[in-house]
Amino acid sequence: MSKRDLKKYLKELDKEQLEEQLLELYEKFSDVKTYYDFVFNPKEDKLLQEAKLKVTNEYFPLKGKRAKLRRSVAQKYIKHFLSLGVDSYVIADLMLHNLEVAQKYTARREMRYASFYKSMLNSFEQVVKYSIENGMVSEFRERILHIKDNAFKQNWENKEELERLFDAIE
């Protein structure tokens, strides 16, 4: 069904029928419930703290012995926040938190996997582009610079690429 057909169909329904359909969607699909729960009660701080805790747990697990180091956990939350329409500052904060936690981990333990550094480069590029697109460079410049500097201190194999990306915000 096209958007145009949907609009035509919805115009044919009366208010009560529309309410019934929305309630049915709310009960049937968890994404719809999540969306409306957020729209009517946007606790962005709570969502951000929950996401930061999950990301931190990937590198410094509270239970279990081994860190999983999955970038996909942070990416899942970022994508979810974007779909909900969470404030762009909250999203950028989470992006940076992911990189900062990864660097805390690599400060304690040397990483030998090229895939880890490639993943972190992708995350760094994402936050730089997102900050530029949303006009937040001045607010997050120091944190981005700190991540780039730490990459040099820790001798990350892709430190030059991080510096090149950082130069884009200068």
pLDDT digits (tens, 9 = 90+) for 77-108: 999 999 988 999 999 999 999 999 999 999 99
What pLDDT is recorded for position 168? 86
Region 29-41: what's the mean pLDDT? 85
pLDDT by residue (tens digit) across 5-21? 989 998 999 999 999 99
The pLDDT of residue 38:
83
Give phi and psi for 87, each to the nearest 5: -50, 135
Residue 158's pLDDT band (boundaries 50, 70, 90)? Answer: very high
Query: What is the structure's pLDDT at 41?
Result: 80
- pLDDT tier at 75, thresholds 50, 70, 90: very high
- E-strand stretches of the chain: none
Quote the pLDDT of residue 112.
85
Query: Measured at the alpha carbon of residue 160, what is the angle toward residues 157 and 163, in degrees to the nearest 5?
Result: 130
> CA-to-CA distance for 60 and 69, rounded, in angstroms?
9
d(CA 67, CA 53): 14
Angle (CA) 76-120-158 rounded to 5° is 165
The pTM is what?
0.83
Mean pLDDT score across all residues of the chain: 92
Distance CA 103, CA 59 (A): 10
CA atoms within 13 A on the CB side of 91: 23
pLDDT at 35: 85
Q: What is the dihedral of CA 53, 32, 127, 107, to 10 degrees?
A: 20
Residue 119 has pLDDT above 80, yes or no: yes
